[in-house]
Structure 1
Amino acid sequence: MSDMIVKKDVSLPALPDTVLPAITQLTAALGIPREVLASQEEIEYAWRDLPRELREIPESLRDELIARMCVAVSTGLFDGAMNYSWNAAVLQLRQKIRNFGLAVVAQILQSDFEEKHLLELQDSKLLELCLKLNIIDEDGFFFLDQCREVRNNFSAAHPTMGTVNDREFTTFLNRCVRYALADSSSPKGVDISSFISAVKGPRFNDNQCQIWVQRLTETHDAQRQMLVNMVHGIYCDPATAEPARLNAIDICRYLMSAFTASIKSDLINNHSDYVAKGLEDKHTASLQFFEKLGLLGLLNESEQHVVYSRAIERLWNVHNGMNNFYNEPPFAERLLEVTQQGAVPETIQDSFVQTVICARIGNGYGVSNAAVPYYDEMIKSFSPREIATLIKAAADKNSSVGRRVANNGNCRRNLKLCLQLIDSDSVPNSVKSDYVRLMR
């Protein structure tokens, strides 16, 4: 079932007939003009608009401060009502920081942070901390900071610079509700040191991995971004043990669907720094990180070329080595996984096509049957340019493919099977005649 919160309308009683006349009687008794207090029209409009804002506040947060705010509004004391609503917003922001975890906040701030520190925070510093923890976003920070200034200068908390009318109060309340009170939930921070220790520890079991993934999912975007960057750094560190690398990949694989543009940008920047600083070990590990997560498409073509080149070279060496029929499948599968992450860079397409086709048509002794499904899958995905490369290579007796086709009947029959995997409409016109000849 959905966890959607159902908002209920709040029905406030009508203003008593005695309230508004009583204000007039009070000012007369004190000998002051009626105009020094909110007018009857302002009070009526503010009271009319109040239920719309109260509806957005969860019932659990409609406490005595909200009740006092309503009483203040009913008598036109908008400066007092502003103070009550601001205090309610501040208390909720403090609670969200508690829910995030004071110990985690201390880790992020790299200083002591306990309950007393939270209570001693000035409102301006509280808003800055909430922004840092992503409890409020930049819009929320901007509008709540405006509310803080208004509260300091126009509410009953301090001697005022002037008065506010019903519309100004309603706007003030709307911002307190929208950015602090409307959502009673809050992200939970992840204990950074415990997380890093767990990743660097023994191999995760399924339950352990899921617990950490859940914690990272429940925290806010900024902390999740920071921790993903840390995990990438752990994976790329030459001193990291293999279990820790596998833990790092497991965490990121589960979180990939939640990778924001900022997370991806940071990963690319970290990877580029390794290149710029000449950290070859870290650069190589980082390439593997992107490859294992299927994120090669984020790298530039020259970086992708390196990954494809290595996978192609390893398959070619195994294909030409001893016991190739038994050794080829994992290397063929690896190359297929790489090609499924995006288009093969043009700089390596010729080598890619020749290697796959040579392995697929085999040699005088046959083919690696267990690897055939991987080869066929790659051939089905050939681009028109790769199809043209295949046909040209098969027609050229000086190429590796051409020599096998010209000298071995099994290779010719296997080539026809390869060509049958290709839609004839995808064959470029420049090689159409060779295609028809090879298909005979």
Structure 2
Amino acid sequence: MVEKDLDMVISNSVPSYPEINSDLSNYMESLDSQMNMVLHYLDLPAENVVASVKERKKSFNNLEDVISEIDVDKSSMIYLSRYIYATSVGLFDSALNYLWDATINELRKRVKNFNVEYFYDVVVQNTEKRAKLHSDKDLPKLQDSELISGAHKIEMIDSVTYQRLSHILYMRNWTSSAHPNDHSLTGLSLIDFLETCITSVFNLPMSELNLEIQKLLADVKKSLLPNNEIEAKKALFDKLTSAQHNSLLNGLFGIFVSSDSTTETKNNITKLAPLLWSLSSEETKTKIGTNYGNYSINSHTEKANSAKKFIDIVEGQSYIPQKLKMSEISNILSDLSTAHSSMNNFYAEPSLAQQLSKFVGDYSSMPEVIEKEYVETVVNCFLTNGSGSAWNAEQYYREMINAFTDKQARIALLSFKNETIKSKIDNWQLCSNYFKDLLNLIRPQFVKSLQLDLLDFILNFNGDPLGNFVKDTRYLKTYADYVKKS
């Protein structure tokens, strides 16, 4: 009885969140005052060390409402607890790190629960790197940018969420003390990032279509499917988006060439792949042909034989690269894109940019199968990450841009259609400046034409951000239709 009464007293004594928040505000001010005395005593800087109590209060005033939105088990979310602790003492950069770690952990769980092998097949373009990835334990080997890009590719997250997470990743990478910068975090921006991560990742439901894709991938591996089930699986293709067609084709190709796949599994894929091939993009078909080239060059005989058989099944022989050596360029492009998105891009990019420049210089022309990927990768890297230029790599980007053919210059002009490039000129002034620099570099490739008019229109556009030129009345009236059809 005494024990029960004690439990009631303890339960009734728990204060409300507003009471806790009020006490915490006083504690923050007291702690700041005491810590400043310590720092002054030690002759250390005491100004601008942590965020102000005012900013911390903005975050905590909204904390209860935002955390209450989490509709999954919170018992293992230790990084969120650390996020709150770091916020309370004004270490916003650390808080953002903890929030990002929590978000990445949750995203990895969802990839694991979906189909991790399929995820690798869709996301990892470098065949040598793909060969080293097998289970969910290998997910940490992927860059965070690869993880969120992959979640976008398999439509686990939509384009808006992808852009928001990319922005949070950028801020996480470039607002820490390890990277001196002019960016600053506010209490409201920190709580806004938390809400985005909760609604977009922590509470992320599996869509009905992704559940059906997950079941298809599991079923093709179980046993030989009868014809009526094969036809039912084909009916699913009509419901999928173009991006899902491409992802699923990559996934089935990956299963087909895996050494773990049984004869029954390969027979199932043999019946499904031709229709899916006909629905997929030229870029995806080209990538599969290039993967076959990679396997051949690197003496992965078993995978190369399986890849060739897959290509024969879908009648995709025209997508086999005439110069298998060119598949090495594809691997470099993949590695360069990954390096560019990483925190240490200033150190990782130059050697890859030099390597790419060398390969391109070794051939008089770029194979059409990777020409668009080549141009857009060079443009994307040349535009910088918005925080600073990898100057040791920039010279190589300028050399490659100056060597663009007329066709490649046209691809570069329209590269703003690429979602990643468009996001850069929508959000970062440095990227916008470099995009105009790019246009000046390729301008000599154009004679008087609608293309040259479009180029000059963008160069002379003074709106902010630069990406808003696509909303300009003149653009919509004069150039939008041409851009859409190109």
> Which interval holds the TM-score relative to the shorter structure?
0.3 to 0.5
Q: Which has the larger radius of gyration?
A: 1
- Output the TM-score relative to the length of structure 2: 0.39
